[in-house]
């Protein structure tokens, strides 16, 4: 199995967008994706987010969407917004390759830490992160305010 991990290109945006919609379906919230494909193009062009893609046979089979943010306690932090591997390619090592590339990118950028969220019922993801020696916190609650 030949898989390439690389930084995304603009032409990858439709496949990235479809992977995000797959993730929302997996997370039982398909209707929650209100960002449009046009939003993705505009925000990618503006450098709002970056994406590492796992590519096999010229198809994107995994993504790691991330952006730089700041921890007032630690300094530069890379936030992993979405991390997903296509269902038929899970358990093949692609997720580990993609996650390792994300961690390498964080180190290259001088981040002091990386951070992400995982749903408390997503046992496969929790096991994956535990296998990677991640600290999973349960005492912090998420706060949100949506602007239509």
Report the pLDDT value the prediction gives residue 1, as an integer from 0 to 100: 65
CA-wise closest residue to 55 among 81, 25, 107, 16: 16
Report the pLDDT value the prediction gives residue 72, as an integer from 0 to 100: 97
CATH code of the domain occupying 4-131: 3.40.630.30
| Active site amino acids | 129
Report the pLDDT value the prediction gives residue 146, as an integer from 0 to 100: 87
Alpha-carbon span 140 to 58, nearest angstrom:
40
Residue tagged 């991640």 (tokens): 134
Low-confidence ranges of the chain (pLDDT < 50): none
Q: Whole-prediction pTM value?
A: 0.94
- Could you tell me if 51 and 8 are in contact, meaning their C-beta atoms sit under 8 angstroms apart? yes
The pair of three-digit structure tokens given for residue 81, joined into one six-digit string? 């917004």
């Amino acid at each position: 199995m030949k898989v390439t991990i690389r930084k995304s290109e603009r032409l990858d945006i439709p496949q990235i967008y479809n992977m995000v919609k797959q993730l929302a379906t997996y997370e039982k919230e398909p209707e929650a994706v209100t960002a449009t494909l046009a939003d993705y193009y505009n925000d990618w062009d503006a450098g709002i987010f970056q994406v590492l893609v796992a590519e096999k046979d010229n198809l994107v089979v995994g993504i790691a969407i991330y952006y730089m943010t700041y921890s007032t306690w630690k300094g530069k932090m890379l936030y992993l917004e979405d991390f997903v591997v296509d269902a038929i390619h899970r358990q093949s090592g692609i997720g580990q390759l993609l996650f390792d590339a994300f961690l390498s990118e964080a180190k290259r950028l001088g981040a002091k830490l990386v951070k992400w969220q995982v749903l408390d019922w997503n046992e496969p993801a929790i096991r994956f992160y535990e296998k990677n020696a991640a600290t999973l916190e349960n005492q912090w609650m998420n706060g949100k305010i949506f602007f239509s």
